[in-house]
Amino acid sequence: MKKIMLLSLIGMIFLSESTFATITELFANPGPPSVWIKITLNFHRPSTNCETGFGICVDISAGVDGMGRPATKSCPVLMKINDQNQLLIQVTEDDLRFYENGTTLPYFKDKTTITLGDSYTFTPETCKKLGTLNPVVIRPGTYPLNTMNNTYTITIPL
């Protein structure tokens, strides 16, 4: 009987240690949740009333669920703020081909950076969906552009 109780006690100790380790690992990286949201953007300059040039202008929030293909005046993208306080914007080559008959694709195709000439501040609603109460401002500058599987990712420090 003493052996059974001793084995039960040892088993509980081992079980509680593995549970503690799992919980510790789960909470080791606190911070905002990293969730992609879908929105549509107009890739034109705010200084031209969002009609010409290359930039980021007019964000229309579309939520987390699928939104289908929007009208040709806007382009669907995925956005999130990562744990390094960077805004990541992903757009597929197919969506860029469809958006305004592909006129924006040359700004992405075979490039490693993109340059934005105007600043842009996202709406409070979009900022909230990105998990922040602070304004999300894209400042003029040159930003890294990564390409993988025909998907372009812009990394913008905030």
> Would the pTM of this model clear 0.95, i.e. be above it?
no
Same domain, 133 and 103: yes
What residue ranges in 19-85 does DSSP mark as E strands?
Answer: 37-42, 57-61, 75-81
pLDDT digits (tens, 9 = 90+) for 81-103: 999 999 999 999 999 999 999 99
Residues 73, 115: one domain? yes
Question: Do 63 and 81 reside in the same domain of the chain?
Answer: yes
Instruction: Decide if 77 contacts 130 (C-beta within 8 A).
Output: no
pLDDT tens readout for residues 115-152 = 999 999 998 888 888 889 999 999 999 999 999 999 99
What was the pLDDT predicted at 32? 47
Q: How confident is the model at residue 27 (pLDDT cuts 50, 70, 90)?
A: very low
Cβ(78)–Cβ(87) under 8 Å? Answer: no
Same domain as 8, residue 69: no
In this structure, the answer to whether residues 59 and 109 fall within a common structural domain is yes
63 and 141 inside one domain: yes
Look up the domain containing 85 and give its range: 37-157
C-alpha dist (Å) from residue 152 to 1, 90, 108, 113, 128? 65, 5, 7, 10, 24
